[in-house]
């Protein structure tokens, strides 16, 4: 029985007291308590005080008397605190064995919140005209970890990546290749996404100021891209798919995968917009302006937002008109016009599909489904107003909050990191700009981290092979980037610094992974397999109890992270769990314990910590290396 079960057991017992006394309070809390106030606390006495005209202390005494006779065997005693709280103390002589055994299972903290409900998570959605930079990585990592958390609590998750292969940025690349003299072959085997972003895109946009004819060509090309049979459209497909293939190599390095790629060009050609526009008009969700500055335009209104032009007077749909049908498709509001074909097999052997409007005969079984009962779209807060309109509109269609915009703030680079990577600045942090070519791509960050960790591991570990050193460097470099992207709250700007992120003290991925490696080393040195059949009731000192309690709280953290869509909750838990283990390691002898029985019990505890931390890190998509 882990903490979440005990909390629920206490809640039910308190609820029984309320029911038997015809009391209707339902919003009381049962939660882990602060140190010195037992293990679990309940505030119900405070909520009843006004209704019963009694002091919280007197009420808590009555409830304690009731609970003491009915509470589960894992609770040693129930105490009425003088202030009015009801505090519950766990009987660790009983609790130890059950939690340590349970925590070693791969399914530990698997919770059925989702009941296999279909949910779509869309993330990444980087324009296919450049390499991924560190700002994009935050989106990718947030989306991937949210997907992992939701799978952990039994949602049927489908992960999508929207490819804007028909926008202005694509037109800029075509201008560059067709009218500005840029070769289609990158020099010196440069990665294609780097070449397109750093050279072609930046070089082309710089020429618009000098050559006004390019601007008119840009709009001609943009229109031609939407004609599926045009040579321009075919060329755009070739270029964007080459950029996408290069981008995905970076994504897969980060341990991220998808279920399906959705191409904007196919959404345009699918007639989904025409269908959703007809639906909008039939339900009076848009209006045609007859006068004023927007005369002849179709307008969409949203609560607490300014009116937005949906279709201009010349019949051209605006940017938001592309988002609306896609959002409606993801929720299954309109029929799925797509077939699906295999794009590739990803690094984890998972099949990645892509949308197509062509006839497909690959799948004889039922048609693949990539829509959901709920949709989570990960997009940074600069698009919050646009997403608010889409969210409100989807609510009008479905009648519930089935479309969720998960926003986040941007990533900047510390001045020190920017300088190390060749971007000189006098500012404390550096804002990135793809159009100006002022950004640091993810490949470069990964390479620098990998090299730094490789060299550090080589200093610390004599005799490790090249493959072992590279494996450690990969695990720690990827883990570092992922951890740094979700450690702060989503509404906080990140200032990424190469040096501080690699410290093995403090709140870093390296510190957490080092804790795992340290536990693994203890178990290796013991030379024995811990026996969990012992009663383990001799784990009673404060450092042991603190670690056991932290292990037991894993399911609470998973529940919290899933319900609040908060990756930070699991990151913080990994750090706090590692801190509890470090205190245990510093104050408690394991291999030189006073008796063989105590040695075995402590090895069981170390094993439990190791398995739980590995479990939690896997939810973050972070490896647990045996050596550091």
516 and 615 together in one domain: yes
615 and 558 together in one domain: yes
Question: Domain with 599 in it: what CATH number?
Answer: 1.10.730.10
Would residue 568 count as lying in a domain? yes
pLDDT for the residue 263: 94
Tokens of 398: 């479905």
Domain that holds residue 439: 412-501
Would residue 273 count as lying in a domain? no
Would residue 436 count as lying in a domain? yes
473 and 489 together in one domain: yes
Q: Which residues contact 603 (CB under 8 A, 6 or more apart)?
A: 522, 523, 526, 528, 530, 590
* Chain CA centroid to CA 84, Å: 39
Edge-to-edge strand ranges of the sheet holding 305-311: 286-288, 298-302, 305-311
Would residue 497 count as lying in a domain? yes
Hey, how many other C-beta atoms are within 10 angstroms of the C-beta on 22? 6
Q: Could you report the per-residue pLDDT of 185-208, keeping only the tens digit for each?
A: 999 999 999 999 999 998 998 888
558 and 472 together in one domain: no
Average pLDDT over residues 374-403: 93
Q: Please give the tally of structural domains in the chain.
A: 3
pLDDT for the residue 567: 98
Tokens of 371: 């829509």
Give me the DSSP letters along 176-196. HHHHS---SS-GGG--HHHHI
Q: Could you report the per-residue pLDDT of 570-620, keeping only the tens digit for each?
A: 999 999 999 999 999 999 999 999 999 999 999 999 999 999 999 999 999
513 and 607 together in one domain: yes
Angle at 310 between CA 304 and CA 311, to 5 degrees: 155
539 and 611 together in one domain: yes
- Distance (Å, rounded) from C-alpha 25 to C-alpha 553? 26
Burial class (CB in 10 A: 0-12, 13-18, 19+), 104: middle
pLDDT for the residue 320: 83
496 and 541 together in one domain: no
Look at the pTM and tell me if it is higher than 0.85. Answer: yes
pLDDT for the residue 504: 65
Angle at 437 between CA 433 and CA 439, to 5 degrees: 60
Would residue 237 count as lying in a domain? no
Number of residues that this document lists for the chain:
628
452 and 514 together in one domain: no
535 and 489 together in one domain: no
Average pLDDT over residues 454-476: 92
Q: Which of 536, 483, 532 is closest to 508 using CA atoms?
A: 483
Boundary (domain end) residue, out of 452, 478, 501: 501
Would residue 232 count as lying in a domain? no
Would residue 422 count as lying in a domain? yes
520 and 614 together in one domain: yes
pLDDT for the residue 74: 87
456 and 497 together in one domain: yes
Would residue 195 count as lying in a domain? no
Q: Which residues contact 290 (CB under 8 A, 6 or more apart)?
A: none
481 and 427 together in one domain: yes
- Distance (Å, rounded) from C-alpha 621 to C-alpha 157? 16
Residue 439's pLDDT band, with cuts at 50, 70 and 90, is low
- Percentages (nearest 5) of helix, strand, coil residues in the chain: 50, 15, 35
Boundary (domain end) residue, out of 501, 529, 544: 501
Average pLDDT over residues 544-550: 95
Tell me if residue 596 falls in helix, strand or coil: helix
Boundary (domain end) residue, out of 90, 116, 140: 90
pLDDT for the residue 362: 59
Question: Domain with 72 in it: what CATH number?
Answer: 3.30.1360.70
pLDDT for the residue 92: 87
């Amino acid at each position: 029985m882990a903490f979440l079960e005990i909390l629920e057991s206490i809640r039910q017992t308190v609820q029984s007291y309320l029911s038997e006394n015809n009391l209707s309070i339902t919003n009381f809390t049962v939660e882990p308590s602060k140190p010195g106030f037992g293990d679990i606390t309940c505030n119900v006495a405070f909520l009843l005080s006004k209704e019963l005209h009694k002091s919280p202390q007197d009420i808590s005494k009555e409830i304690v008397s009731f609970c003491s006779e009915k509470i589960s065997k894992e609770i040693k005693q129930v105490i009425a605190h003088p202030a009015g709280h009801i505090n519950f103390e766990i009987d660790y002589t009983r609790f130890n064995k059950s939690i340590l055994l349970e925590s070693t299972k791969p399914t530990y903290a698997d919770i059925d919140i989702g009941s296999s409900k279909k949910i779509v998570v869309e993330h990444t959605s980087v324009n296919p005209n450049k390499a991924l930079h560190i700002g994009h990585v935050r989106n990718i990592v947030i989306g991937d970890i949210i997907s992992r958390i939701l799978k952990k609590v039994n949602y049927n998750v489908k992960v999508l990546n929207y490819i804007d292969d028909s926008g202005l940025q694509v037109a800029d690349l075509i201008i560059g290749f067709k009218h500005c003299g840029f070769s289609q072959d990158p020099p010196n085997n440069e990665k294609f996404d780097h070449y397109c972003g750093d050279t072609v895109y930046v070089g082309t946009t710089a020429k618009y100021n000098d050559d006004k004819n390019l601007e008119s060509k840009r709009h001609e090309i943009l229109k031609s891209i939407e004609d599926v049979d045009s040579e321009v459209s075919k060329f755009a497909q070739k270029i964007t798919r080459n950029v996408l293939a290069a981008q995905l190599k970076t994504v897969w390095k980060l341990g991220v995968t998808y279920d399906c790629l959705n191409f904007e060009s196919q959404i345009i050609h699918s007639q989904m917009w025409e269908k959703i526009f007809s639906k909008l008009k039939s339900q009076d969700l848009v209006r045609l302006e007859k006068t004023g500055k927007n005369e002849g335009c179709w307008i969409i209104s949203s609560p607490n937002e300014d009116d937005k032009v949906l279709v201009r007077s010349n019949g051209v749909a605006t940017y938001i008109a592309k988002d609306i049908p896609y959002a409606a498709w993801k929720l299954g509001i309109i029929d799925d016009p797509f077939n699906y074909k295999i794009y590739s097999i990803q690094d984890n052997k998972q099949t990645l599909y892509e949308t197509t409007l062509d006839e497909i005969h690959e799948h004889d079984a039922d048609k693949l489904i990539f829509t959901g009962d709920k949709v989570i779209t990960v997009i940074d807060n600069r698009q919050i107003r646009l997403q608010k309109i889409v969210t409100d509109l989807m609510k009008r269609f479905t009648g519930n909050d089935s479309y969720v915009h998960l926003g986040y703030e941007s990533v900047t680079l510390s001045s020190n990191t920017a300088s190390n990577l060749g971007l000189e600045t006098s500012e404390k942090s550096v804002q990135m700009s793809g159009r100006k070519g002022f950004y640091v791509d993810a490949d470069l960050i990964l390479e620098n981290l990998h090299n730094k960790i490789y060299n550090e591991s080589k200093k610390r570990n004599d005799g490790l092979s090249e493959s072992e050193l590279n494996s450690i460097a990969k695990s720690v470099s990827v883990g570092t980037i992922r951890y740094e992207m979700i450690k702060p709250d989503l509404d906080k700007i990140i200032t990424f610094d190469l040096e501080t992120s690699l410290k093995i003290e403090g709140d870093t991925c390296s510190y957490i992974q080092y804790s795992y490696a340290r536990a693994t080393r203890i178990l290796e040195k013991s030379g024995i397999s811990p026996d969990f059949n012992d009663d383990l009731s001799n784990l009673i000192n404060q450092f042991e109890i603190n670690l056991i309690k932290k292990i037991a709280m894993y399911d609470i953290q998973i529940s919290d992270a899933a319900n609040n869509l908060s990756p930070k909750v699991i990151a913080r838990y990994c750090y706090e769990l590692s801190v509890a283990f470090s205190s245990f390691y510093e104050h408690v002898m394991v291999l030189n314990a006073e008796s063989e029985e105590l040695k075995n019990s402590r090895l069981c505890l170390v094993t439990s910590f190791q398995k739980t931390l590995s479990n939690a890190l896997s939810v973050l998509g972070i490896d647990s290396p045996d050596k550091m």
